[in-house]
Amino acid sequence: PEELTSHLQKCTRTAKLCSGFPRSVSLDMLKVGHLHMYCLLLLYSHIYHLITCSLVCFLAGQTLKMLVRMSQAKKILEIGMFTGYGALSMAEGLPEDGCLVACELEPYLKEFAQPIFDKSPHGKKITVKTGSAMDTLKELAAAGEQFDMVFIDADKNNYINYYNFILDNNLLKLRGVICVDNSLFKAKVYLKDTTDSNGLALREFNQFVSSDPRVEQVASLSLIMSAYLVSVCQSEVTDDEVFRGVQGRPILDRMRLDGKVAYVTGAGQGIGRAFAHALGEAGAKVAVVDLDKVKAEAVAKELSLKGIKAVSVTADISKSDDVQKMIDSIVSKWGAIHIGCNNAGINMNSASEDTSLEEWDQTFNVNLRGTFMCCQAAGRVMLKQGYGKIINTASMASLIVPHPQKQLSYNTSKAGVVKLTQTLGTEWIDRGVRVNCISPGIVDTPLIHSESLRPLVQRWLSDIPAGRLAQVTDLQAAVVYLASDASDYMTGHNLVIEGGQSLW
Ligand SMILES: C[S@@+](CC[C@H](N)C(=O)[O-])C[C@H]1O[C@@H](n2cnc3c(N)ncnc32)[C@H](O)[C@@H]1O
* pTM, full prediction: 0.69
Residue having the nearest C-alpha atom to atom 9 of ligand 1 = 86
The CATH class of the 250-497 domain is alpha beta
Looking at this protein, which amino acid is placed at residue 372?
A: F
DSSP state of 405: S
Helix (H), strand (E) counts: the chain: 18, 14
pLDDT for position 22: 35
Nearest alpha-carbon partner for 424 in 485, 498, 374, 364: 374
Q: Per residue of the chain (504 residues), what is the pLDDT tens digit?
A: 455 556 555 554 444 333 333 333 334 444 444 555 555 555 555 455 556 667 778 888 999 999 999 999 999 999 999 999 999 999 999 999 999 999 999 999 999 999 999 999 999 999 999 999 999 999 999 999 999 999 999 999 999 999 999 999 999 998 899 999 988 887 888 888 889 999 999 999 999 999 998 898 898 886 667 788 888 876 677 878 998 899 989 999 999 999 999 999 999 999 999 999 999 999 999 999 999 999 999 999 999 999 999 999 999 999 999 999 999 999 999 999 999 999 999 999 999 999 999 999 999 999 999 999 999 999 999 999 999 999 999 999 999 999 998 999 999 999 999 999 999 999 999 999 999 999 999 999 776 777 777 788 888 999 999 999 999 999 999 999 999 999 999 999 999 999 999 999
Strands 310-314 and 339-342: unpaired
Kindly report the number of other CB atoms within 10 A of residue 365's CB atom: 17
Query: Is the CB of 106 within 6 Å of ligand 1?
Result: yes
Q: For ligand 1, what atom is nearest to the CA of residue 102?
A: 6
183 Cα to the center of ligand 1, angstroms: 15
Q: How far apart are CA 200 and CA 205, in angstroms?
A: 9
Q: How far is the CA of 84 from the centre of ligand 1 (A)?
A: 10
How many other CB atoms are there within 10 angstroms of residue 336's CB atom? 16
Q: Is 460 in the pocket of ligand 1 (CB under 6 A)?
A: no
- Integer Cα distance of 354 and 347 in angstroms: 15
Q: Which amino acid type is present at position 97?
A: D
Looking at the annotation, which residues are catalytic? 410
> What residue ranges do the domains of the chain occupy?
48-211, 250-497
48-211 and 250-497 have identical folds: yes
Fold of the 48-211 domain: Rossmann fold (3.40.50)
Give the other-Cβ count within 10 Å of 45's Cβ.
12
ipTM over 0.90: yes
Contact by Cβ (8 Å): 344, 275 = no
Asked if residue 20 lies in contact with residue 50, where contact means CB atoms within 8 angstroms, the answer is yes
Instruction: Say if residues 315 and 339 touch (Cβ distance below 8 Å).
Output: no
Which of 424, 392, 396 minimizes the C-alpha distance to 411? Answer: 396
